[in-house]
Amino acid sequence: MVLEAVAAALVGVAALWLVLQPLIGSARRAPPPFEPIDPEETPRGAALAALKEIDFDRETGKLSDGDYEFLKAKYTTLALEALRAESADITPDAIEAMVAARVRSLRSAGSSPVACSNCGPRPEPDAVFCSSCGNRLTPGQHSETATHPITARSAAPPALGSDPLEAR
């Protein structure tokens, strides 16, 4: 009975520690995970959402024509300023560098495609065997005259009593 009481006390202390530890523990917390900004939270997104909202309010009769014109001019100005600020952040050199990097990656990827001697180029760049016929793939070689290993065998089945491996 004493053993049970000690075990119950240990379980109780452990449960109490688990409950109270976040309250009395140190303030070390994990940094919040990175979350990209929602497009509607940017100045551009807020202005465009406001333009859509005032269009909707006008269509449903909640805005008078005078209020609509005033708000549309205001939010259009804000949207244009936000678009100009975004376009100033991207320089033509940065765009050219991104395009050049993409062209280099496409050219290097297409330089030696993996090809099956029977089926031709394969879409899987890291494949070792053809997914259609099972032949070993060779980089960049495609032979139109190559024969499939199954069709290269003789068309007649081996005679009864003969060794089937010799018929190949």
| Whole-prediction pTM | 0.36
Domain coordinates in residue numbering, the chain? 39-96, 112-148
pLDDT of residue 148: 43
Q: Evaluate whether 39 touches 45 at the Cβ level (below 8 Å).
A: yes
The band of 26, judged by pLDDT with boundaries at 50, 70 and 90, is low
Pick the closest to residue 137 from 147, 148, 124, 128 (CA basis): 128
Tell whether the torsion through CA atoms of 25, 27, 28 and 33 is positive or negative. positive
pLDDT digits (tens, 9 = 90+) for 69-121: 999 999 999 888 888 887 776 666 777 888 888 887 777 665 556 677 787 77
How many angstroms separate the CA atoms of 69 and 74, rounded? 9
Task: Examine the pLDDT at 168 and tell me if it is beyond 90.
Answer: no
pLDDT tens-digit profile of 77-90? Answer: 988 888 888 777 66
Residue 142 has pLDDT above 50, yes or no: no
